[in-house]
Amino acid sequence: MIDTEFSVAAHFGAPFPEQRNLQSGSAVVDLSHHGIITVSGPDRLEWLNSMCSQELGSISPGVSTESLLLDPQGHIQFAMRIVDDGESTWIMVDPLQSQALAAYLDRMRFTKRVEVTEKSEQDRLFTVGFFTGAEASDALSSLRESGQVRAVWLDPWSAVSVGGWQYAAVTADEHPASTWNYAEAILTAEGVQLLVNMIQAGTLRSAGTLALQALRVMAWRPAQHTEVDDRALPHEFDWLRSAVHLNKGCYRGQETVAKVHNLGHPPRRLALLHLDGSDAQLPEPADLVFAPGEEKPIGRVTIAARHFEWGAVALALLKRSVPVDAQLEVQHAGIRIPATQEVIVPPEAGATRVTPRIAPLR
């Protein structure tokens, strides 16, 4: 089945086995609809560091990280997956983002010695996603030896990054991201053909985007093309754990990041919804969430999926005031689907700085 919006494979006829294969590291997923940008030049890291939420100035070659570009009010404009190879910084972004991001970066060059290049289809570079199990890792090693791998990004979501912060009230071992060993590789056209040959030979399998989507939902992993709207703050998604460095120098939107984290609370919070009824039709992005019997929405679905173990699940942005034990309903196609929530970002997230009380003067 083809994802008609992006012309990539949604699944190959067996979504649940594809999830298992992908999670075990024996399958890859085509992400050629994602965008690729390179930034070259001696000033690239210092320049990117001055604009981004993550500490990039001293990043070593081969080290993967994630960063956000924010507007002056701290809202998310771009989410970037970043790895530097010592000569160029590779930036991977979600679908439909690369052209706008490249144009923005190009406008911000001024006198810096940097060059921004959006890698289009003519560059013959393609992204594949995989989990670092034995088969996928062996395939990648073989492609590296053939010189067909341009960059590999290892997702830092699996742990709290240096300078980051986690709002989820679970330990490192309890967090579902503890087993999220996800990666993306940028391949040449020849590398893609070698990968296809491995799949045809049976040494590797294919998985569709629906498989990756279901695994991402269960890992509480936010993404720009589904979770982010024009009001999105990093705190609402627990994105400070991987994409924000709280102790770095100034960047656009930093004041809001610091104010919400230290003194305030994010107005919305991401939650995982377990949807009632295995045969129910899945909600769609932007479907509204309600309290039972109420007509005023208290949130919206960002993405929904069928997981091979957990059934129908979804990520949703809820108002901060929604009680953590509240029963919910998702309205889809005129029908309300009962749902229970699993807290990702708790209502008390933020306000980490205790302001001392000053006794009044008499």
- Structure confidence by residue, pLDDT tens digits, 49-107: 999 999 999 999 999 999 999 999 999 999 999 999 999 999 999 999 999 999 999 99
Co-location of 188 and 286 in the same domain: no
Query: Is 81 within the bounds of a domain?
Result: yes
Tell me how many domains the chain contains. 2
Co-location of 221 and 282 in the same domain: no
28, 137 Cβ separation under 8 angstroms = no
Q: How far lies 193's CA from each of 30, 55, 124, 250, in Å?
A: 12, 36, 12, 44
309: pLDDT strictly greater than 90: yes
| Domain range for 280 | 268-344
- 137-144 LR contacts (CB < 8 Å, sep 24+): 137/25, 138/203, 139/28, 139/195, 139/198, 139/203, 139/204, 140/185, 142/194, 142/198, 143/185, 143/187, 143/191, 143/194, 143/195
Average pLDDT (298-325) is 97
* Token pair 């924010």 in the structure block, residue: 70
Q: Give the CATH number for residue 38.
A: 3.30.1360.120
Query: Is 253 within the bounds of a domain?
Result: no
Query: Is 256 within the bounds of a domain?
Result: no
Which pLDDT tens digit goes with each residue over 227-259?
Answer: 999 999 999 999 999 999 999 989 999 999 999
Average pLDDT (167-177) is 96
Q: Give the CATH number for residue 286.
A: 2.40.30.110
Query: Is 137 within the bounds of a domain?
Result: yes
Q: Please give the pLDDT value at position 361.
A: 64
Query: Is 239 within the bounds of a domain?
Result: no
How many Å apart are CA 16 and CA 109, to the nearest integer? 46
Co-location of 274 and 218 in the same domain: no
Query: Is 242 within the bounds of a domain?
Result: no
Which residues are CB-neighbours of 48 under 8 A, at least 6 positions away?
A: 39, 56, 67, 82, 89
Co-location of 134 and 223 in the same domain: yes
328, 273 Cβ separation under 8 angstroms = yes
CA dihedral sign, ordered 74, 77, 82, 85 = negative
Co-location of 201 and 334 in the same domain: no
Co-location of 185 and 285 in the same domain: no
5: pLDDT strictly greater than 80: no
